[in-house]
Each structure stands twice: as C-alpha cells, then as structure tokens.
Amino acid sequence: MEIEDFLHTLPGVKDIAAIGFPDERLGEVVTVIIDVVPGKTLTGEDVLKYCEKLPKYKRPQKVFFGEVPRNPTGKIEKPKLRKKYFGMVESFKIK
C-alpha cells in the first residue's frame, strides 16, 4: 500500500498496483503495474528513477504497464494481476 501511495504522486500515473512475485534469491520481489494517464508517457526507467527516493528493499524490481482491474467496491484485483503477469516474470531475469 505504501508503494502504491508513493507512486500515485508520480505525474502521469492514473492507477497503480504493487504485488509480490517469486524470486529465486529473495523469495519475492516488488513488481508494479501502472495504468498511465491517457496522453502521458512513462517508461520503466522513469518509474525506477522516481523510486530511488524509497528504501532499497521497497523499490520495484519490475514495472509493467496496463490496466489495473478493480472490483465493484474499488479494491484492486491482485489475484487477476498475478495470473495475467506471472508467466511473463519467468521469461526474463530480474536484476
């Protein structure tokens, strides 16, 4: 929640979800999915540079861009995000 609140202050962020993904060395790493404001441009590098203000252990290790699904009460549907992006995580090495 703290990471999501922090990244909501980054100009161009419409919505954000922070979730944990498995990591061989650390067990789990912070990954964020960002929905960008229409007409704005953000890159993964922009997000990671902005996150340098956070303690190192809270910084996202991976950034994806896409819609952040919410249920009718407004809660982020993190299980849907894990299901959608989990396969993508295994296709690359996390630094």
For 13-65, the pLDDT digits (tens) are 999 999 988 878 888 889 999 999 999 999 999 999 999 999 998 999 989 99
Tell me how far apart the alpha carbons of residues 57 and 20 are, in angstroms, rounded to a whole number: 12
Domains annotated on the chain, with CATH: 2-86 (3.30.300.30)
Name 12's Cβ contacts closer than 8 Å, sequence gap at least 6: 36, 37, 40, 41, 42, 46
pTM for this entry: 0.82
H-helix segments, the chain: 2-7, 44-50, 78-89
